[in-house]
Amino acid sequence: MYAVSNGVDTEFFQSRNKEKEKQELHEKYKIPMNRKVVVSAGHLIQRKGILDFLKLAKMMPETTFIWFGGGNDSLVTQEVKEAVKKKSENVIFAGYVEAEELRNAYCGADAFAFFSYEETEGIVVLEALACEVPVVLRDIPVYKGWIQDQMQAYKVHNLEEYKHNLMHIFKEEQEELKGNARELAEQRSIRSAGERLKVVYRLSGVNEEEETEKFIAEMEEDIIPIDGLIAFAESDAGAKVFGGPEKAKGAAEHGREIKAAGAKYCDCPACAAVEAILSKKGELLG
């Protein structure tokens, strides 16, 4: 059995202009420019560490914490709902945002903190590494062997260590760590994942061309067409997934906006990654 990374679109997830992205993030969420900003992303479920995120925010009242992502309300426990209601004033829940806004948030933030207790890989971690924002994450087994502590990110075990490392990031330049992070993301880019997949096919003795065609066909089935996104966002199920009728309405409006601009598919990070793979269909099949 071979494990191959899902891959991150390093062409998309990279900074265009750090200063501009920082200013846009602060202006978007009305944050004074002299305040530090920590971002995180994931579903509002305990496994993703939302409760620890809220506790840490209370421990660092001079820092603004932004959580991107929502989820199906029926899966959010009462404990999480109560904790969210009692959040401290320095916490912002941004909800579902388009991929470009999430990328700019990574790039404009002072740090990315990830609190998840269990992952299969952690795509948002790869996205943050690609955007060269200092990353602090829980030291769980999935990162063993490819993310080195204090080399590409800071690996921690409790909230005090999260706080300590974030304060260190705020005070010290992190250019070497950010450079290492970008290099690691490139090693796990979509293109690199495709090359590794070809090697796996060869080692497994299967027909590379046939398996690549199957892989592409699965991607084409999985990606969400823009009309499908709009229809889903306007449904009752969509309202639950997007975090309420207003968020769902915003997603539908966004879908129409990007469709008018020529988009064929949903532009969430997952679909954006698949679209990036499909854009290289000719190379993969060639």
**pLDDT score of 269:** 64
Average pLDDT rounded to a whole number, residues 220-248: 89
- What's the angle, vertex CA 5, arms to CA 223 and CA 41, rounded to 5? 70
Q: What is 164-225 written as a DSSP string? A: HHHHHHHHS--HHHHHHHHHHHHHTBHHHHHHHHHHHHHHHT--HHHHHHHHHHHHHHHS-B
Which range, of 54-58, 174-178, 222-226, averages the lowest pLDDT? 222-226
Residue 48 has pLDDT above 80, yes or no: yes
CATH 3.40.50.2000 given to domain 18-187: yes
Question: Does residue 250 have a pLDDT over 70?
Answer: yes
> What pLDDT is stored for residue 277 in this prediction?
77
pLDDT at 5: 64
Q: At residue 205, does pLDDT exceed 70?
A: yes
pLDDT at 3 over 70: no
Over residues 270-278, mean pLDDT: 79
d(CA 264, CA 227): 8
Q: Answer whether residue 268 shows pLDDT above 90.
A: no
pLDDT score of 195:
72
Q: pLDDT tens across 154-171, in order?
A: 999 999 999 999 999 999
Out of 121-125, 200-204, 276-280, pick the least confident. 200-204
Q: Measuring CA to CA, how many Å separate 69 from each of 147, 171, 260?
A: 24, 28, 25
Q: Label residue 243 by pLDDT band (50, 70, 90).
A: confident
**Which position has the higher pLDDT, 267 or 82?**
82
Choice between 213 and 86, residue whose per-residue pLDDT is larger:
86
| Residue 213: pLDDT band with limits 50, 70, 90 | confident
Question: 10 Å Cβ neighbour count for 31?
Answer: 17
Give residue limits of the domains in the chain.
Answer: 18-187, 190-285
The answer on pLDDT for 199 being more than 90 is: no
Q: What average pLDDT does the structure give for the chain?
A: 89
Provide the pLDDT confidence category of residue 210 given band limits of 50, 70 and 90.
Answer: confident
pLDDT of amino acid 166: 98
Instruction: Please report, as a single letter, which amino acid is at residue 249.
Output: K
pLDDT mean over 186-197: 78
pLDDT in tens, 67-126: 998 766 666 889 999 999 999 999 999 988 888 999 999 999 999 999 999 998 889 999
Q: What is the pLDDT of residue 263?
A: 83
Contact criterion met (CB below 8 Å) for 25 and 104: yes
Percent helix / strand / coil, the chain, rounded to 5:
55, 10, 35
Percent over 90 (pLDDT), the chain: 60
Position 2 pLDDT exceeds 60: no
Smallest CA-to-CA distance from 183 within 4, 6, 12, 14 is with 14
Strand 154-156 with 36-41, pairing: unpaired
Q: Flag whether the pTM goes above 0.95.
A: no
pLDDT score recorded for residue 208: 73
